[in-house]
């Protein structure tokens, strides 16, 4: 069917409603006007109410998608400068489980300032603390100890005193005297678009030589 060249956006959503909505009822008669656009030989079509509504809706949604894409790109303009410290206050206990795996319970003091990570397009910040160490069996072991969701910028500067939320269990019994890193990871979850993730690595922690 021949359509006006301006309606490119119609190809996105096609609603097959084509009714004539007119304020004055017209009886169809033969039209006297000559065929317009004789150079290209195309017939002009009168757009109905449904046609205009469809075109407008499609165009509006396309522009909304573009706005969200640009909003996501604007996140790259932000240069964050987060900081964090983790202190192990106490090792509560350090045992070998009946089935042979080591387990540790720690009390941590986590201080962080992650306010610069928030932008206008940030929904929330997901952070977690992981212990990383090496064993003969695995080159890298990562055990998540604690996590939290920060919903707004005001809560992003905090200092928390907590025992590990998730159990620190090894695959085996390699933890005696082990040196490990504590890393604070964060995932910046946007309202629209790309999610960014990064981390701060803090090294120099180690476990005692004997079980307690």
Partner 1 sequence: MDWQGQKLAEHLMQILLLAFAVVAFATGYIMGSFQMMILIYAGGVVLTTLVTVPNWPFFNRHPLKWLDPSEAEKHPKPQLAVNSKKKSVKKN
Cβ–Cβ under 8 Å, residues 55 and 62: no
Pairwise CA distance, residues 52 & 79, whole Å: 44
Q: Work out whether 38 is an interface residue with partner 1 (CB under 8 A).
A: no
Q: Work out whether 76 is an interface residue with partner 1 (CB under 8 A).
A: no
Give the interface segment with partner 1, choosing from 43-51, 88-96, 131-139, 178-186 (CB under 8 A). Answer: 43-51
Rg (CA), the chain: 31
Q: Work out whether 39 is an interface residue with partner 1 (CB under 8 A).
A: no
Pairwise CA distance, residues 82 & 195, whole Å: 17
Please select the residue that binds partner 1; options are 2, 15, 17, 56, rule is CB under 8 A: 56
Cβ–Cβ under 8 Å, residues 43 and 2: yes
Q: Closest separation between CB of residue 154 and partner 1, Å? A: 14
Q: 59: which residues sit within 8 A by CB, 6+ positions away?
A: 9
Give the interface segment with partner 1, choosing from 50-58, 87-95, 157-165, 172-180 (CB under 8 A). Answer: 50-58
Pairwise CA distance, residues 128 & 147, whole Å: 4
Please select the residue that binds partner 1; options are 1, 23, 139, 140, rule is CB under 8 A: 23
Site of interaction with partner 1 (CB under 8 A): 4, 6-7, 21-23, 26, 29-33, 36, 44, 46-47, 49, 52-53, 55-56, 59-60, 63-64, 66-67, 70-71, 74, 119-121, 191-192
């Amino acid at each position: 069917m021949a359509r006006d060249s301006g309606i490119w956006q119609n190809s996105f959503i096609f609603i097959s409603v084509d009714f004539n909505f007119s304020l004055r009822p017209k009886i169809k008669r033969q039209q006297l006007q000559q065929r317009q656009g004789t150079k290209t030989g195309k017939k002009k079509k009168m757009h109905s109410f449904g046609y205009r509504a469809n075109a407008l809706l499609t165009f509006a949604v396309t522009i909304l998608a573009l706005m969200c894409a640009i909003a996501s790109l604007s996140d790259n303009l932000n240069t964050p400068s987060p900081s964090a410290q983790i202190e192990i206050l106490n090792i509560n206990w350090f045992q070998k489980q009946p089935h042979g795996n080591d387990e540790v319970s720690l009390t941590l003091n986590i201080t962080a300032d992650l306010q610069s990570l928030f932008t206008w397009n940030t929904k929330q910040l997901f952070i977690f603390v992981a212990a990383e160490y090496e064993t003969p069996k695995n080159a890298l072991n990562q055990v998540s100890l604690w996590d939290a969701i920060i919903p707004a910028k005001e809560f992003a500067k905090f200092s928390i005193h907590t025992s590990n939320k998730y159990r620190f269990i090894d695959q085996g019994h390699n933890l005696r005297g082990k040196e490990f890193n504590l890393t604070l990871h964060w995932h910046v979850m946007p309202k629209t678009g790309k999610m960014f993730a990064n981390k701060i690595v803090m090294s120099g922690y180690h476990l005692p030589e004997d079980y307690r």
